[in-house]
Structure 1
Amino acid sequence: MKVTSSEFVISAVGPKQYPTDGLPEIALVGRSNVGKSSMLNKMMNRKGLARISSRPGKTQTLNYFRVNQMLYFVDFPGYGYAKVAKTIKETWGKMIEGYLKNRQELRFVIQLVDIRHAPSKDDVAMYDWCKQIGIPTVVVATKGDKIARGRWMQHIKVIRQDLKLRGDDTIIVFSSETGQGKDELWGEIMRRLRAAEEDQRQAEKEEQEEQANSSNPS
């Protein structure tokens, strides 16, 4: 997809600050040092739009980025960083849980893992949580440029096995340095958004037919 506009919209601390324009939202989750900001900047063609912090765990809000006036990337606080205060972690947890369970505009989650390492306990827990809630997930294996291409499949196999990848959840190798995986990820995003729109239209059609049948009993 060609990105013609991208912008930071808001750092939200709760539902009252979430956008109200009804655009589809894609949540980005991952460990604090996995490269979410770098991936966002590469995907949006905007160097430095998503801030890359030297202090892992700095993001403490849901950061909304609007792309082409058609969707939002929602950058979650990084998980797994030990130096973040327990009270802040608890606040994050409540905010994230509420968003994942209740946000109607959420279409799916992009979960980032470091291709060089087996998924952590936090990675596994996050993936399991999404599955329990019933949220589709795209797994992005970041830092693909850090290992030889010939070793990618070996590392992907470990990620797939440790997360116990389910259904049609996808793994895409990504590099913010080379752009590897960028076009593939955009393709997957657009495919899933079109499928979600079709599902929504079908659900609305079925609801209308049910209402029509109930108002005209035979």
Structure 2
Amino acid sequence: MSTANDNPIARLNYPTARFMISAPTLALCPDDTGAEVAFAGRSNAGKSSAINALTQQNALARTSRTPGRTQLINFFSIMNDESRRLVDLPGYGYAKVPEAVKLEWQQHLSDYLRGRFSLRGLVLLMDVRHPLTEFDQMMLNYADKREMPVHILLTKSDKLKKGPASATLQKVRSRLKEWEDLVSVQLFSSLKRDGVDTLSQKLDQWLHTPE
């Protein structure tokens, strides 16, 4: 007897992604229905570049040196369907702003990750040369408390030769072994588009909502 799980998951067309809205707080986010996947990472981890590579758009997720823009939670719909969303969370770590402002950003991140019920998974971006920073550990702890799956992109893999990049991949997997039921890891290069298909397949699983 066949079941619904026997059916292949429909592939989503990420190049159709369109900007929906920017929200400064959880309360101003779109309705908490449907399914969404959030992208998070330090300001220099290549988050915007990864989203642009996934969607094959040059400026869907805009990079900016202006702290005001990086405070916002940005939502993008897929295939003209606002019930399936990509979410670009504020970058963290390098903006030259007062400590009180950074703490406020961190609180908004915490509110979103803990209180957003439509959030199906977190894509956590780490520079392959500097993985598992304090920020990364904080995000993993948030996800662990919610038992939410995390897919790690070790970005800028083109900056390393194949051997060192693969060694870093194995090292990160080893260090996260206690979370292996929730966490998956891959190498990723926005510049060369390496790993885009693996990422899109993971997102298809998370964003799939049975009819």
TM-score for the superposition, normalised by structure 1: 0.81
Q: CA RMSD in A?
A: 2.3
Equivalent residue of 1:42, what SS?
helix
Task: Map residues 158-173 of structure 1 onto 2, 5 A cutoff.
Answer: 158-164=171-177, 165-173=179-187
Q: 1:139–1:169: 8 Å Cα contact kept in structure 2? A: yes
Residues 1:6 and 1:192: Cα distance change in structure 2 (over 3 Å)? closer
Paired amino acid for 1:174 = F
**In structure 2, C-alpha distance between the alignment counterparts of 1:11 and 1:82, rounded to whole Å:** 19
Tell me which amino acid in the other structure corresponds to 2:77.
R
Distance in 2 between residues matched to 1:154 and 1:4, nearest whole Å = 32
CA distance in 2, matches of 1:37, 1:31: 11
User: What whole-Å deviation, never above 9, does each CA across 1:117-161 have from its counterpart, x for those lacking one?
Assistant: 232122122212211232211111111111112322201122224
1:20 — aligned with what?
31
Query: Tell me, what secondary structure is at the counterpart of 1:112?
Result: strand
Distance 1:19 1:112, change over 3 A: same
- SS at the partner of 1:43? helix
Q: Any stretches of 5+ residues in structure 1 without a counterpart?
A: 202-218
Listed as ranges, the gaps of 5+ residues in structure 2 are 1-10
Which one has the largest radius of gyration? 1
Q: Which has the higher contact order (CA 8 A, sep 6+)?
A: 2
Q: Which runs of 4+ in 1 moved over 6 A?
A: none
Identify the residue that residue 187 of structure 1 maps to in structure 2: 201
Q: Counterpart of 2:136 in 1: which secondary structure?
A: helix
Displacement, 1:189?
1.1
For these two proteins, the number of residue pairs brought into alignment is 197
Asked if 1:150 corresponds to 2:163, the answer is yes
Moved more, 104-113 or 160-169: 160-169
Aligned residues of 2:15 and 2:57 also touching (Cα < 8 A): no
Q: Residues 31-42 of structure 1 correspond to what in structure 2 (within 5 A)?
A: 31-42=42-53
Percent of residue pairs identical: 34
2:145 aligns with 132
Check the 8 A contact 2:17/2:76 in 1, yes or no. Answer: yes
Query: 1:213 is matched with which residue?
Result: none
The residue aligned with 2:64 is 53
Distance 1:21 1:97 in 2: 16
Cα distance in 2 for residues equivalent to 1:163 and 1:123: 12
